[in-house]
Amino acid sequence: MGDFHGIKKVKCDYFADKGDRQVDTSVFKPTFHVDDTSDKDVHAAMRQAQASLAIEGLFVPENGQELVRKRLRGEISQADFLKAALEIATRE
């Protein structure tokens, strides 16, 4: 079972380099093992995160939610997750 209480806030630093944005992936060290998460854990974590965001009047678009699910299931790397999240955030 994943330890979602230990997830640290993601700090996504990026900088422009010849017009390309690069993500500093060294700032995020997950405190749970992605391989240990079940679909039930992923669903519970997503519901909790969505509720927290809703309190602030924020939401995660569906493509962002699917990206988070893929990361929590271990289907994509942390670096790929951060790059894709940055693309979604700057596009929305």
Q: What is the mean pLDDT of the chain?
A: 73
- Confidence at residue 34, expressed as pLDDT on a 0 to 100 scale: 55
- Confidence at residue 33, expressed as pLDDT on a 0 to 100 scale: 54
Residues 36-52: tens digit of each pLDDT: 668 888 888 889 999 99
- Confidence at residue 72, expressed as pLDDT on a 0 to 100 scale: 86
Domain map of the chain by residue range?
4-91
Q: Are 43 and 16 in contact (CB under 8 A)?
A: no
